[in-house]
Amino acid sequence: MRIHVSRRIPARALTSLRATGWDIFVGPDEIPNKKRFVWAAGGCNGLLSLLTETVDAEVMDACPDLKVISQCATGVNNVDLEEAKKRGIVVCHTPGVLAETCADFTWALMLGVARRLVEGDRMMREGNYPGWGPLMLMGTDLYGSTLGLVGMGEIAQAVARRANGFGMKVLYWSRSESSGGVRVDSLEELLGRSDVVSLHVPLTEETRHLIDAKRLGQMKTTAFLINTSRGPVVDERALSQALDSEVIAGAALDVFENEPQVYPGLLSSSKVLLTPHIASSSLATRERMAQLAVDNLVAVLRGEEPAHRAI
């Protein structure tokens, strides 16, 4: 068997993959360009990919004996699922291992933007701290406020559990019922009632630019927007304009429309906290994700049913 791992993953998972005795080729640390990726993957029987690689017909054409695409991620929107299904290629992913880690990070973003931590850190590092003052960098209390969750999957439910400790009222907008809060009938209602809006939806044609200028205008002027889901769920240009016009109070983003690029207006705004797609980036979680991706890949190539199959 020839296996291509598109980028380097945690060492423990790679060691277990190499223990199969198969021919393993590991890509670079950085995001490979498409030409290099297609060349490196060529002829492989198993592909272990990440969200940063587009796995489309061109890639599959280069791998006529490809049996499995094992995604080291929960989402699979970078994989052409219809093309894979047409060719009989199994696609796997790694759900159920990052919910608590991402929920922790979502709270880090909420607290960071509400209490203006980045501004305070910058003030100290740049030597601009004049001494304590009663009006300096006044933030917003989360305790006792209303949290609105767009989507109510595993991560959102974990975020909701943490809200109990902050005495927050939790609202959610979702197709499915949950015991984690109060379900509202419309996104407009959720946006209008929430002090913090946190996004937890997959990227689909329905959710692309779900939060646009109109939706931002439905939020409270004192509210914060948090996105740890997928970048294109938010119209970054509209968000930048909303922040400049004080339509909302602030935002915290871990994902972006055109990663690794960020809309310039967001980079220059003091009202937005930006992090480089690291919500699931704890050592334990990344190791679990990588190992699950390896286990899924190995299972398919050995003729077994993988633990987590997308198609």
Active site residues: 230, 259, 277
Residue 133 — φ and ψ, nearest 5°? -150, 145
CA 99 to chain centre: 11
CA 60 to chain centre: 25
Q: Which residues pair with 196 in a beta bridge?
A: 147, 224
Angle at CA 293, nearest 5°, toward 3 and 205?
105
Query: Which three-class secondary structure state does DSSP give residue 204?
Result: coil
**Residue 185 class from Cβ within 10 Å (0-12 exposed, 13-18 middle, 19+ buried)?**
exposed
- Contact criterion met (CB below 8 Å) for 70 and 307: no
Other beta carbons less than 10 A from residue 67's beta carbon: 18
Q: Cα separation of 72 and 60, whole Å?
A: 18
Q: Cα separation of 311 and 45, whole Å?
A: 17
Helices in the chain by DSSP H: which ranges? 11-18, 34-41, 57-61, 81-87, 99-114, 117-125, 154-163, 187-193, 213-217, 236-244, 264-267, 283-301
Q: Cα separation of 231 and 182, whole Å?
A: 26
Q: Which amino acid is at 204?
A: T
Structure tokens that stand for 81 in this block = 């699922």
Residue 91 — φ and ψ, nearest 5°? -115, 125
Query: Which three-class secondary structure state does DSSP give residue 183?
Result: strand
